[in-house]
Homo-oligomer: A and B are copies of this chain.
Amino acid sequence: MTHPPISALTTHLGYWLRMVSNQVSLGFAKKLATMDVTVAEWVVMRELYDVETLAPSRLAERMGMTRGAISKLADRLLAKALIARDASPDDGRAQTLALTEAGRKLVPQLAALADANDADYFGHLPPTERQMLEAVLKTVAERRDIRTIPVE
């Protein structure tokens, strides 16, 4: 009554990647939660910080989410008065999203949390290892043409 031997979960690089990634993201989510912000909300705000104005569908592409999800996400940020939603001046279908003053003031604080989180999890690594890790991850992303901003 033996069964075919198969590889353990832990033999996969994807296992370790996800295990660490989940915890890092969870840690970040908890930090953001103290400011009543989710990771997805943070990404939207960070994107808007640089560009003044952005269409929801662009955001959907960049974040690898559906337009439906962005629609609801924008609703939530609107309810918190962190972004503004306006009709596009040159396209009757389109909208523009932009940070409110309150939203813009919040972004640097959230960015500090992101910095802190990275330090929490990777700060102890020797610079060589950090660079190596970053380089390898970028290699994989490059090779598979991965571009969307990770949210979830």
Contact check, A150 vs B22: say whether CB atoms are below 8 A apart: yes
Given contacts A12-B118, A13-B133, A140-B121, contact A49 B6 (CB under 8 A): yes
Minimum Cβ distance to chain B for residue A51 (Å): 11
Minimum Cβ distance to chain B for residue A110 (Å): 9
In the assembled complex, the Cα of A17 lies from the Cα of B3 at a distance in Å of: 35
Category for how many chain A residues contact B? 35 or more
**For A152, what are the chain B residues with a Cβ–Cβ distance below 8 Å?**
22, 152
Contact of A140 among B4, B20, B49 (CB under 8 A): B20
Contact check, B13 vs A118: say whether CB atoms are below 8 A apart: yes
Total identical chains: 2
The answer to whether A88 has its CB under 8 Å from any CB of chain B is no
**For A107, what are the chain B residues with a Cβ–Cβ distance below 8 Å?**
6
The segment from A23-31, A67-75, A79-87 that touches chain B is A23-31
In the assembled complex, the Cα of A150 lies from the Cα of B118 at a distance in Å of: 19
Contact check, B17 vs A149: say whether CB atoms are below 8 A apart: no
The answer to whether A58 has its CB under 8 Å from any CB of chain B is no
**For A148, what are the chain B residues with a Cβ–Cβ distance below 8 Å?**
19
What are the interface flags for A117-152 relative to B under an 8 Å C-beta threshold, 1 for contact and 0 otherwise?
110011011000110111011111101101011101
Q: Which residues of A does B touch, CB under 8 Å?
A: 3-4, 6-7, 9, 12-25, 28, 43, 46, 49, 104, 107-108, 111, 114-115, 117-118, 121-122, 124-125, 129-130, 132-134, 136-141, 143-144, 146, 148-150, 152
